Chain A
Amino acid sequence: MPVLTVDLQEGFADDHVTVLVDDRAVFDRRGVRTRYEIGFAARAEIELDRGAHKVCILLPDKGEVAETTVDTQSVSHVGVERAEGQVIMRPSAEPFRYM
C-alpha cells in the first residue's frame, strides 16, 4: 500500500494544524513550529490506496486552508509551507531534503 508523506515545512509558529485526507483527519496537532535551522516542522505519513486522494491542510485558529488532489501513483510526498498568510502545497514524487 503506498505511503503519502506530508511534510509541514516553513512558516509554522506554534500553530494548530490539521491534515485531512479524503475528509478524514489523519494529523491534528497544536504547537506546530518550524525549526528554521532545517526548514522543517512536522511530518504525517498516511497509508492510502492507489489512486487519487484529496489532501486538505487546515489551520483552524488562523482560518487558513489549502487543498489539493494527489495521485499516489505519481506523488508520494507533499510539502506544506505558510507564507504571507497563505498555505502552499507542493506535491512531489521525491522525498524532501533538509539541511
Chain B
Amino acid sequence: MTDIKHGENGYGDEADAGFDETAYYPETATQLTPADRLTPRLPLPLFASGLYQWSQRLLVPDLPVRPIPTPLPIHPDLPIPPRPGPGPSPTGLETEAATDEALLPILFNREELRLDVDGRYPQMTASGTLFRRFTMRTHWIASLTRTGSNSYTGAIWFKDGDTAGFPFTNVNITVIRSLFPNQRRVTIQFAGGGATRTRTYGFVSSYFHKVEFEFDHQVGATPVLDINTTAHPNRPASLGAETLTATKVFQRAGFDVRVNGAVSAIPSDGADTNTTWSDAEMHDAMQVYWSRFADRSQWAMWVLTARQHDMGSGLGGIMFDSIGPNHRQGTALFTDSFINVAPGGDPAPDAWKRRMQFWTMIHEMGHAFNLAHSWQKNLGTPWIPLAADGEARSFMNYPVRVAGGQQAFFADFQFRFSNPEMLFMRHAPSRFVEMGNADWFDHHGFEQPDGAGELELELRIDRDKPHYDFMEPVVVELRITNRATEPRIVPESLLADAQEMLVITKRDGQAARQWRPFAHHCREPRGRVLQPGDSLTESLFVAVGEGGWHIDEPGNYTLQVALEANGQELMSNPLRIRVAPPRSFEEQHLAQDVFTEDAGRVMAFDGSMVLESGIDAWRRVMEQLPKSRAAIHAAITLATPRSRRFRTLDWKAARAGQEEAKCFRFAKVDHDGARKLLDKALGDTRLAVETLGGVDFLYYAGHYSDWLEKEGDKADARKMGDACKKAADLRAARDKPGRERRQVA
C-alpha cells in the first residue's frame, strides 16, 4: 500500500503552520521594508516550501529460506510444542510488490522531502531522507534552479548514509500548489547514475522539522524571552518593528516550534552555595528541572537563564551539555555577566542589555542545533567544507569580533542566521542537527525514531545484571505496552513474528548483524486488545539464527529490536549485555561443538532426532558442565523429543512414493528420561527463570505440569504449578515499581 501522507504526526494543518506575516513574501522577504510588510500582495502567493512525505508498507519479499531438516513437531498430542519464539505472519500489512528497489526484508519504507524554494530565506534547495528497515537511512541534498513557475531542477551534491542503492545525480521537481494542504504535491524525477526513479510526495508541514523549547531560570535571574526589535536606535533602517521571540526566530529558520510551558524557577542554593554554576551542576539541574529530559536524542532543548558561571562575568552563555551520552540538549545564559553591562555612553543601555541577553540566548540555542561560531566554520569536522566568515551578521558570530565591533554588527544585523546556517539546520542529515543525537551506530546503538508514541517497545531480561555465562544461550524478552489513554488493538502475534521485526545484534568493536529466525510461521491474523497500561510479552531466542550464532564470544553486546505496529514505528531500548569469558579449557573445547549451526538449530527447535552432531554437543554440555546454565537449556532441548512420540520422515519411503502412513516413523516416549531432564532444567525455579526468561519458564513449566497431570502424577504436577506461581512472583518483583502492568501474555 502506498500512502501519500497529509498532515500526520501532528504536522501540517494550516493552523499549525504558524505563518507569520512575513512568510507570505517569497524570495525577497529579507529585503522588505516595513512599508512593504504592511501591504500584503494579492493574490497571496501559494508557497511550495516545506516538508513532504511518501510512505509505503511492504511485506517482506520471499527470502531464500533454507530447507529445515528437523521435522517440525506437529503431533497434536505432544505435550511440549517448540520453543515459543518469533516467526512470520503476514498480519496487518497489505502487500505490494517491491518495484524499483532492491529489497532485503523491509517492514516499512518512508521518504521525507524538504523543499526550500520560497517563503522566508529560501535556500533553493531540496533534500530528502529515505528510511528503510528502521536503521537504514539515505540522505541527499540538491541545489535547485527554477525552470518554470512550478518546476525546478538541480544536481544532487550531497549524499550520506546507505547510498549504495541511490545512484542518482540529478532531480527534476514539479510542484502542485494549492490553498488546500491535502492537495499539495511534489513529484521528483531522480535521474543520473544509470537509473531513473519517480516519487510523488504529499504535503505535511510548512516547516522542515519540529522542535520544542523549555525556558527555565534561576531565582534572581530574570529571563528575557522577547525584545522589541526597534527599541535600540543602532539597527538597520530596514529592520521591521516587532516583538521578536525565540519561537519566531526558529520558525523563520524552518522549525515548527513548540514552547513547553512547564517553567521552573530554580532555587539559588539548589546547585551550589557558591552561587555560580559549573557545567556539571547545570547538567544535574537539567535532569531535575527539565520536564522533557531523557537519555536519548530528541528535537527538544532546555534553556536556562542563570546568574553566573564558574568562569565569572566573562562568560555570557554556554551550550554546557557535553556531559554524558547525549550532547547539545542544554544551554544557559548568565545575567551577572558582560551581556548585562552596556558600553559606556550607549544611548539606550536598557534596550542594549535586553537585546544582548536575547541575542545570547538565541546564540546558545544555535549551538544546541550544532552550529559553530561564524569564524570556526572551517575548524573541526564540518558537515561539508565551509569557509569561516568572521564578518557574518549572524546570531552565531560574536558582535565584538567584527570590524567596527558590536556597534558595526548591530547596525547591520537582521536578527537571523546566515544562509549556510539555515542550509545546515534545514537540510543536513538530522542526526547532525537534532539535539542529543550522535553518529550513526556510535555509542548509543541505533538512531531513535521520531517522538514517543502510544505503544512502547521494551527489550528486557529476567536477571539483576545483564551478565551471561560463556556458552549460556541468550534469551531476551520483548514487551509492548499501551501507553495511550485508550485501548489499542495490536496483532496478537506481533511479538512472535520475527519476520515482522528487525532484530539487530552488535558485539562491541564488530559490525552490527541482523538476526533472522530459522523458521517462518504462518498464523491466522488476530487482534489483541491492549487496555491502557496493558502489555504483551514474548521471548526471543536471539543467541542463534539463520546464518549462525550471534552471541558466542565473550564481550559486550548491544541488542535492539524495531517493528511496526498500528502504523507506528517502534524501537526498543538498546539492551546491553555482557558475556563472560570461558572459565576452563574444557568450556573452550566444548564451545567448538556447541557453536555450530546444527547445535543452534537443535536448540532453536527444542530438540531433534536427526541432527546427531548438534544433539551430541548438548548431551556433552550436560555431562561435562552439569551445573552450568547452558545445561538447563541443554536439558530442555534433549527432553522435548523424549517426551512425545517424535515423528521423523522416512525420506527413502517418501521418495519411493509410499503412502503417507509409511513415510513417517514414530519414536517411543521416554517418560523417565524426559522427566529426569525436565526436573533438572526446571528444578531450581530462580535459576531457571533467570536463564530461560520468565516467559519461556512459564511455558515449559506449565506444559510440564499439564503433562505430569495427564500421566497421573498429580503431586508433581501441583509442585510444578507452584513453581509457575513462584516464577510469576519473581517477574512481578523485578518489574519497576510505579510502572504497573497488567500482563496479558
Contacts and interface: CB of A to CB of B under 8 A. Distances in A.
A98 B316 CA distance: 6
A10 B376 contact: yes
Nearest to B363: A99
B677 interface: no
Given A97-B338, A99-B360, A99-B364, A36 B314 contact: no
A13 B270 CA distance: 34
B322 A11 contact: no
A32 B362 CA distance: 28
A35 B320 CA distance: 10
Interface in B367-383: 367, 372-373, 375-376, 379-380
A76 to B, nearest CB: 12
Majority DSSP secondary structure for residues of B touching A: mixed
Given A36-B373, A37-B322, A97 B314 contact: yes
Given A97-B338, A97-B400, A98-B311, A36 B316 contact: no
Interface string A79-99: 000000000000000011111
Contacts of B432: none
Nearest to B388: A83
A31 to B, nearest CB: 15
Interface residues of A, number: 13
B319 A97 contact: no
Contact of B314 (A10, A37, A96): A96
B175 interface: no
Nearest to B373: A39
Contacts, number: 42
B678 interface: no
Interface centre among A10, A11, A38, A99 (most CB of B within 10 A): A99
Contacts of A37: 318-319, 322, 367
B322 A99 contact: no
Interface residues of B, number: 22
B379 A36 contact: yes
Contacts of A40: 311
Contacts of B360: 99
Nearest to B316: A99
A96 B311 CA distance: 12
B388 to A, nearest CB: 9
A99 B400 CA distance: 11
A49 B364 CA distance: 38
Contacts of A98: 311, 314-316, 318
Interface string B175-208: 0000000000000000000000000000000000
Interface of A: 10-11, 35-40, 95-99
14 contacts: A35-B322, A37-B319, A37-B367, A38-B315, A39-B376, A95-B314, A96-B314, A98-B311, A98-B315, A98-B316, A98-B318, A99-B360, A99-B363, A99-B398
Which 7 residue pairs are nearest across A and B when measured between Cβ atoms? A99-B316, A37-B319, A99-B317, A95-B314, A98-B315, A97-B338, A37-B367
